[in-house]
Homo-oligomer: A and B are copies of this chain.
Amino acid sequence: MMRKFVSDRTGRNIILVRSFHHLKQLLQSPLSASQSRFLSSTVLDSTSASSNPSAAPPVNLDTINPKVLKCEYAVRGEIVTLAQTLQQELQSKPGSHPFDEILYCNIGNPQSLGQEPITFFREVLSLCDHPAILDRSETQGLFSADAVERAWQILDQIPGRATGAYSHSQGIKGLRDTIAAGIEARDDFPADPNDIFLTDGASPAVHMMMQLLIRSEKDGILCPIPQYPLYSASIALHGGTLVPYYLNEATGWGLEVSELEKQLDNAKSKGVIVRALVVINPGNPTGQVLAEENQRDIVEFCKKEGLVLLADEVYQENVYVPEKTFHSFKKISRSMGYGEEDLSLVSFQSVSKGYYGECGKRGGYMEVTGFNADVREQIYKMASVNLCSNISGQILASLVMSPPKVGDESYELFSAEKEGILASLARRAKALEDAFSNLEGVSCNKAEGAMYLFPRIYLPQKAIKAAEAVDTAPDAFYCRRLLNATGIVVVPGSGFGQVPGTWHFRCTILPQEDKIPAIVSRLTDFHQGFMDEFRD
């Protein structure tokens, strides 16, 4: 069985036909023969002018890039637009809805829900933004001594101490040294600063790899289903094919190599060339943490099949259960004795997640290993076209990979902030997991890691019929009802993909702890009412 996922819109067939018509024209076009080098551009004779007076068409949905139309991103989709409308209504007409505020549980955006930033990180960023105050006496009273020292260290790593200059396309070398050292400390295997590409968050890094690997719709990328929709969106934008593999909900969203093999074979039989495998660990939206043994099997599979392993490891600090530990895929593959020659592996990390949750800073990196020098040069070129990622984000990426250590002035505060946030996240995850599990017709995964729960709702037939009657997916129908009744914003499972006929939603574990009881109670009341209305 092969499930072909292409997120779609009305009019898709028309667009495809038009697009293929273009391709056909292209094959017959004289232009393809006339390519010439930029350096010595040839001058074509064009005495046949205006035989084909094709004017520029107006810009509308029929004339824009159909790949853009295909792309979907539910995390900021219709449900969020509705939430924003409700929020405006609440502001202009207080009391116009049966709730006082919108609770955004749609997106992993901790600081938008009141999580405080880590003090040490912000001290360093603040000092690097305005180095003129580093030598001032008042600064001693305002900032911790190790933040001042770290700011000096970082400034000394930046040519001319110029935090306002474009950096090396891969990011400031000294910061990459720090990050590589942090990876070594984490994995106990060597890391090379030349393998690090600093980026404006993980999303542009993922785009860069998709752009590199995808040549046409014949190139496939194996992605988990459910998946974080960045992947489906990015594959659609770059014109490739998403080859789905299903996580097994029955085993806590287990990733089974037999499923990978089956889907790979299916894709091959359709003529799709699978280039890469995406693994999200800890899982988004599914919250599972992979077992070491499982990771070894995945590495073996990628090596055997010659697939690039794209390891989304942005939740590496978000593990909430004592029986699970995060292991990077680089550590796993190195511990199996595999090196540069054996596996093309890209690990994505971000400053937006973890206990830091600095989404607005747009910092992150990818560690690129197992590619030959020629291809590395192409990745470097792609990074160069956008010049560099933002320097504050670069600095922050170095900080999260090298936080204060025992004995540093900031250590105690840092440690208390970090442990406080992670312990609270664990408690919130458990409270919401229990609440979901107690609802009629709902089963919920264990929140081992990441920032999400992805409960399954067994919707009554009557609800499914009601949704169909308004041309809405049943889970979207449920989520909209929930929002309208409670102000709670969650994302329908259909935005992430799910086994056909099953229905879920993704809910973050991020609302402030003192709001959790109210959320649970509002959600429980709503659900009870919904079931009362639609129970078969």
Contact = CB atoms under 8 A, between A and B. Distances in A.
Interface in A131-171: 132-133, 136, 138-139, 141-143, 159-160, 162-167, 169
A93 interface: no
A8 B26 contact: no
Given A112-B166, A213-B64, A386 B204 contact: yes
Q: How large is the interface on A (under 10, 10 to 19, 20 to 34, 35 or more residues)?
A: 35 or more
B200 A271 contact: no
A344 interface: yes
A22 interface: yes
Please give the count of copies of this chain that the complex contains: 2
A479 to B, nearest CB: 13
A216 to B, nearest CB: 5
Nearest to A147: B130
Closest 5 CB pairs of A and B: A126-B130, A112-B165, A7-B38, A360-B391, A362-B390
B133 A129 contact: no
A518 interface: no
A6 B241 CA distance: 27
Interface stretch (A115-123, A185-193, A400-408, A424-432): A115-123
Given A46-B269, A56-B275, A164-B111, A8 B37 contact: yes
A129 B125 contact: yes
Contact of A201 (B69, B110, B141, B387): B387
8 contacts: A22-B218, A25-B271, A111-B162, A111-B163, A119-B132, A361-B392, A362-B388, A392-B392
A1 B57 contact: no
A497 to B, nearest CB: 7
Nearest to A20: B27
B4 A36 contact: yes
Contact of A49 (B60, B269, B344): B269
A164 B37 contact: no
Contacts of A274: 56
Interface string A347-366: 00000100001111110000
